[in-house]
A = this chain, B = another copy of it.
């Protein structure tokens, strides 16, 4: 178990960091608070100090100083994780890597790029556009690539383009002892040794700090069509999406939004759509291919009562539509001002999705929660975020109990408690239930092998 440093040891640690980092060091309360969890009901647990790294050498220096002082170290990108991944429950140092934001190489012939972990997905895509390329992984927030690697993030395009698991090709990582390794080469596939890339993807900074990422890119599609199709019920929307996937329609995006979320989106974006469940869909391909997909999907949607399809033909309309979808989290805050949402992240086999969503809606109704639902239907993943007043322990207890039931429901259906947010502090309690004691023991053994003193982001992911 990691212990908090003594006041004397903390003073010595801070002095060493200040000496090395100068202006790029801070222990101001506001900076420390900002470098811990701020987004949901999970309490803010600030680190003892923050350093702002500008390159890999800075990260190595920070890690080496922390290791010498036995201090916890927590990588920080944009702070948009939802499960308390950037909190410092045992104190220690937040190593802010947002300054490692260089786009070091973009190779249009090989469809890859090399970037710093501080680059955000929007900044990256703005740079890629002129090369006719894009990076598909798009969590709600404008997250940093390093954070997306570390939570194994996905988003609305995963059904077609995969998650960070599939789109991170190679990493450079600073280990707990300050040594630096690279996980792989630029080859598209490899059978040369253990898959270190995939080991660090989703490790939430508990095994090392990512300092460089080689990402897979994709050609911008020749043609894009998208729109919104309202359905009578959430089940009808889910069933239409699943039928389309089973029929082989290569959906690029297929997102469920329930009536409550739609109300929030109308409040937030002023978007003019009916307050009913709906699918936001997008198709990528050649002109003819997209036209064919649209026609097929339209037929399938109609079979399930999907009508009044609204197509966004102009790029700016499409952008507005997807911005509304991406802003769902922020929009949901308007439904109950002052309350904070508890983000849930169940992911189940496709065939169980409608069951899982319906049972969860019944639970929401029974609890009387304000809890909008959005879903990456093509992956079997959905989020509902019941809102609780942060200063009301009874409310927080009630939403936590609800989230527990939902996690266990997903696991019982052959799914996972977290499809894309990660474990952090919020989902630690479910890990053994989901994976079994043997698998968690193997994870612990790996953690102990690479970070024997438990200094890399302690108190996260693995249960105590």
Contacts and interface: CB of A to CB of B under 8 A. Distances in A.
B195 A222 contact: no
Contacts of A109: 242, 246, 350-351
Interface residues of A, number: 93
Contacts of A381: 187-189
Interface in A307-361: 345, 347-351
Nearest to A221: B248
A22 to B, nearest CB: 29
A112 interface: yes
Interface string A420-440: 111100010011001110111
A455 B281 CA distance: 51
A38 interface: no
A366 interface: no
A15 interface: no
A25 to B, nearest CB: 27
A380 B202 contact: no
Interface in A155-207: 158, 162-163, 165-166, 175, 179-196, 198-199, 201-203, 207
A1 to B, nearest CB: 19
Given A109-B242, A195-B202, A181 B349 contact: no
Nearest to A249: B286
Contact of A166 (B166, B185, B288, B446): B166
Given A107-B351, A222-B248, A438-B180, A189 B158 contact: yes
A446 B347 CA distance: 29
Contacts of A179: 438, 441
Interface string A245-267: 01110000000000000000000
Copies held by the complex: 2
Contacts of A248: 219, 221-222, 286
Contacts of A350: 109-111, 188
A417 interface: yes
Interface in A91-114: 107-112
Nearest to A220: B248
B221 A348 contact: no
Given A187-B348, A199-B195, A219-B246, A446 B446 contact: yes
Nearest to A421: B191
A370 interface: no
Contacts of A191: 151-153, 202, 345, 416, 418-423
A415 interface: yes
12 contacts: A109-B351, A158-B189, A183-B439, A188-B381, A192-B418, A193-B423, A193-B439, A194-B203, A195-B199, A196-B442, A248-B286, A288-B292
Report, nearest first, the 6 A-B pairs whose CB atoms are least far apart: A198-B198, A449-B449, A181-B438, A109-B351, A445-B449, A190-B416
Given A109-B246, A179-B438, A179-B441, 20 more contacts: A107-B351, A109-B242, A158-B189, A163-B189, A181-B439, A183-B439, A188-B381, A189-B419, A189-B420, A191-B345, A191-B423, A192-B416, A192-B435, A193-B431, A194-B203, A194-B447, A195-B199, A199-B446, A221-B248, A448-B449
